Amino acid sequence: MILHSSLGPNPRLVRMFLAEKGLAEGRDFQRKHYDIITGENRQDASYIAKNPLGAMPTLELGDGTCLTESWPICEYLEERFPNPNLIGTSAEEDAEVRKWCRLIDQEIVVPMTMGFRATGGRPMFEPRMRVLSEAAGAEMMDYANASWLWLDKALGDKAHVAAGRMTLACLMVYCFANFGFTVGWTLPDGANNIARFLDAHKDRPSAGIWTQSE
On the 0-12 / 13-18 / 19+ scale of CB atoms within 10 A, 66 is middle
The one segment of 16-24, 28-36, 75-83, 191-199 that binds a copy of itself by CB under 8 A: 75-83
Alpha carbon distance 126, 133 (integer Å): 10
Alpha carbon distance 106, 179 (integer Å): 17
The one segment of 27-35, 88-96, 174-182, 192-200 that binds a copy of itself by CB under 8 A: 88-96
- Among the listed residues 40, 143, 178, 193, the single contact to a copy of itself using CB under 8 A: 143
Regarding 135 and contact with a copy of itself (CB under 8 A), the answer is yes
Alpha carbon distance 173, 197 (integer Å): 9
Instruction: Identify residues 101-120 at the interface with a copy of itself (CB under 8 A).
Output: 101-103, 105-106, 109-111, 114
Q: Which is nearer to a copy of itself, 68 or 212 (CB)?
A: 68
Alpha carbon distance 97, 102 (integer Å): 9
For the bound state, the minimum distance from the C-beta of residue 74 to a copy of itself, rounded and expressed in Å, comes to: 10
Return the closest-CA partner of residue 149 out of 93, 192, 113.
Answer: 192
For the bound state, the minimum distance from the C-beta of residue 111 to a copy of itself, rounded and expressed in Å, comes to: 8
Regarding 73 and contact with a copy of itself (CB under 8 A), the answer is yes
